[in-house]
Structure 1
């Protein structure tokens, strides 16, 4: 039950099952200064309620007071959404019960009080915020009224001073989630094979405004949707930049130069086909969508995401099932094609700008659009970023070599050097307007061109730790900022078509072309691996990045204060389609591995349980042949092109010396290891040391 107190003069009486609440108010500016503290009276005891509404009387009468007496001297005020920068409080002394009346009177905030055991809730609110929460007629009547913003007033003496600010709430929520997730991270990631992106996305949904309302992105942007877009774009840039520098560092020496043929196939015909297939499917499924608009939307979901790709190239599942060379080519492709999404996106955007709606307010037509695409997108954005990234990466490598030889750099600064390099490139490339994402990947690979930094940091966990923190934070942010309501209510596409579009994109965007060309990519040895690489081309952070790059471009097409109709329609299509496809990819790719393993293990486990003649228990069940991605009993010797030599168990090395190896099942994040039998491991020889790996 809610009583709304709003400006004016009047009174209200609310009858509950046990109590009757009588409230009267007077907000006549002639009688009292607008900023003078209001006085609330209960019986003979005055109550200072703060600078909110001028409440003259607050009384509570009841024929049965015993239910309140058992809460004597107890703070039973429960507050709803303490968003504002200031909170007032009131103290009522009926039946020796301390009831907090939390008045959230500043900004878009809500304050409320509730007596435990009673059906009583009093809502105090300013008019601006009432307009956002109008659900009762009494609220709608006062939604359009305006009043001066009151000055903050400290709570009465004796009351605790709370600081429920946005910063404190965000720190509590983010820190609490990461702490709780860390307690079960090994179980979720290495036993259940669930991706941390899916888990953090679900956490963001739980804490978002439609749910618990702990994380409020729009309020952090002061209610400005354009500012919220800029925040999300900057956050995505930060995560991509750090991820791509680390991806470049992970690749072996001169990898881009040595593997240019398979990479050219993946980044050339395969990526172009992915763009065309995605655009055709979007054009077919979204009603009344121009083909140029479909090309722009398809460009956003064309690049594969390096953040989500980590779930299939790292960890226990990848170590057991994905060959090392296949892991490397997936990392290289996802890193390079993130920056190469610009040409696909801006080809469509330039054509829309100069030819859409008759090129309103623009001159030059399609010729100018193609000219801009060549010299601004290709020359300035792509080629310049490649050159800049290579120069900065090589220079950073030489400087770090020089400092390390003279013992000028400590270990902590050495480990964090790659992350600092990512921040530097993001800032400088962003200022000159070039492709900072592609520059970060090129710089990371150039930085470890001689393989020195990669080998020096191979066993350190600082970079994976920073990587994990960024991943958890960004996907929690996506869960809170995703326009969930627009999937049901929009002017673009009905929900059933949207779901069908998600299925088609995941099935036909990448899988057919990779399967058709896998024979030309030597890292893909067989059809099973081609299906795996074709299916796991996730859509994630890079799609959100290009979504807001596109929206930023569309905002510039407005004529004066009027936005072009086609630009406005395309912006809504961006929001609905791209966000939905990102959510589909996170969910489907996040649960594919656990569902796949469950589908193969469950029948076998049931048959073993029903087999009464089988007495021995199998501790570690080997993956069935139909699920394995790595070939069995591969007799050929795998040569690690980074300089490592892999030798099978019992190999004769150095004039007959037999070196056995025991495979260890190691949790990457926890450092624990357990021997799982006499499985064959490999021996890695480097110039400085010999280490055993599983």
Structure 2
């Protein structure tokens, strides 16, 4: 894996700035090549019972650091100043995509009831912040995608990633609980009040406290620039540890901590010219997508006994890309000040990549479902046997489609996205 990252570095300028191919697509491709489907050098699924645990924690660490970085990289007080647009882009858009994707899954795979389809859809609801950051940062994206669009997409991806928990929780509770009343009660108390709200408050408090402590240390010359950069990793991991220990939403806590520590812009000013954090983020992203490429269960994509066939999976990917976000954002974009015309709304609706977060949530769901028998004894076991197969194929399709989305807008001599989609009409 280290050799693959070294190879990326040797040709990164050619690949990213000339061919417009980012580490998400390349990492996944390398993972497939070295994985069991081709060379069989690296096979995460051969680790038996440890597979899900290791996969869950690898995805968790990458997501936490990526979400903290997203919070830091956003302009000062961004979440407050752009609350109106974010409110529309996050909660109702997620809810719309959740029920629509569940309906598509239920139609294509009728052996899954609608509640089970909602559980799988919850894994595919959040926009992946790691893929989003990898695609929207860099010279090409900066030149060709308007700043407001890049910021709102990154903030939305980071915010809705932590909010995937409630969507997953209600689906799991309805699947494993015998009483609907009990399921809804646990969803409200545990899924929303404890995990989401406590996670957000905890992250914000930790980020604010560290911000003040670092300002005091800096004013007394107790801290140097290198130590500022060290906090980039230390605080994100510390926040994850505290939130995970008490059972709160660690992803939302990490994003809230990143926003809070850079709320006044000082932390960002101290770290923006240092490439160390970006290098760490880049290396983690490369390793993560190499892992995902090797983790993909190609053997399971043709499983007629579960009603899963390659043709159905391809139809599912196309339907999700077209229907999951585009119709809703096209309908409500006038309520999002950052989106100025229908062409930008179309781009923003299309730009909803699924990657690390989908793998993480599906693996989390798998750990909370019963171990499936052969054949599955009930709907919960059937869901456990199929959830990662369906989610992983959609992730693969999204990596290919969304990973190549930005270069698509470079067709022709136009300078940036606003020009290419029609500045006059905006």
- Select 1:573's aligned residue among 365, 386, 391: 386
Quick one: distance in 1 between partners of 2:329 and 2:116?
Answer: 26
Q: Which residue of 1 aligns with 2:404?
A: 591
More strand by share: 1
1-structure distance, mates of 2:370, 2:215:
46
2:193 maps to 1:193: no
Mapped contact 1:554–1:567 kept (Cα < 8 A): yes
1:250 matched to which residue of 2? Answer: 73
User: Residue 287 of structure 1 contacts residue 493 of structure 1 at CA under 8 Å; is this kept in 2?
Assistant: no
Cα distance in 2, alignment partners of residues 238 and 507 from structure 1: 30
Structure 1 residue 392 corresponds to structure 2 residue 392 = no
Give the distance between the partners of 1:625 and 1:266, measured in 2 at CA.
20
* Map of 1:234 onto structure 2: 57
Give matches, 1:73-472, under 5 Å.
Answer: 174-219=1-46, 221=47, 224=48, 226-354=49-177, 359=178, 365-472=179-286
Cα deviations by residue, 1:413-460 (Å, 9 ceiling, x for unpaired): 211212111111111111111100000000100111111011221211
Tell me which of the two structures has the higher relative contact order, counting C-alpha pairs closer than 8 angstroms and 6 or more residues apart: 2
Aligned match of 1:500: 315
Post-superposition shift, 1:312? 3.7
Preserved contact between residue 135 and residue 403 of structure 2 (Cα < 8 Å): no
Contact in 2 for aligned 1:323/1:630 (Cα 8 Å): no
Separation of aligned partners in 1, 2:394 and 2:372: 26
Q: Is the 8 A contact 2:112 2:382 kept in 1?
A: no
**Equivalent residue for 1:628, pick from 409, 420, 426:** 420
- Work out whether residues 388 and 439 of structure 1, in 8 Å CA contact, stay in contact via their aligned partners in 2: yes
- Aligned with 1:555: secondary structure? coil
The question of whether the paired residues in 2 share the 8 Å contact of 1:274 and 1:510 is answered with yes
Shift, 1:633, TM fit: 12
* Structure 2: distance between partners of 1:594 and 1:319: 12
- RMSD over equivalenced CA pairs, Å: 2.1
Q: What are the Cα deviations for residues 260-284 of structure 1, in whole angstroms up to 9, with x where unaligned?
A: 1111111221111111111111111
1:484 aligns with 2:298: yes
Residue 581 of structure 1: SS of its match in structure 2? helix
1: distance between equivalents of 2:424 and 2:18? 22
Alpha-carbon distance between aligned partners in 2 of 1:211 and 1:495, rounded to the nearest angstrom: 19
Q: How does 1:37-56 map to 2 (within 5 A)?
A: none
SS for the counterpart of 1:449 is coil
1:555 and 2:370 are equivalent in the alignment: yes
Structure-1 separation of matches of 2:328 and 2:19: 30
Return the offset for 1:351. Answer: 0.9
Aligned residues: 424
The residue aligned with 1:97 is none
Displacement of 1:493 in angstroms is 1.8
Whether the 8 Å CA contact 1:322–1:630 is kept in 2: the answer is no
* Gapped regions of structure 2 (runs ≥ 5): none
Structure 2 contact 409–420 (Cα < 8 Å) conserved? no
Q: Which moved more, 1:312-321 or 1:527-536?
A: 312-321
TM-score, reference length from structure 2: 0.95
| Match of residue 15 from structure 1 | none
| Cα distance per residue 1:257-310 (max 9 Å; x no partner) | 121111111122111111111111111111322010111111110000111112
Structure number, greater radius of gyration: 1
Bigger helix fraction: 2
Asked whether the equivalents of residues 303 and 539 of structure 1 are also in contact (C-alpha less than 8 Å), the reply is yes
Residue in 2 that maps onto 1:135: none
SS in 2 for 1:416: helix
SS at match of 1:460: coil
Equivalent-residue separation in structure 2 for 1:556 and 1:485 (angstroms): 19
8 Å Cα contact 2:341-2:425 kept in structure 1: no
CA offsets, 1:461-483, max 9 Å, x none? 11111110010000000111111
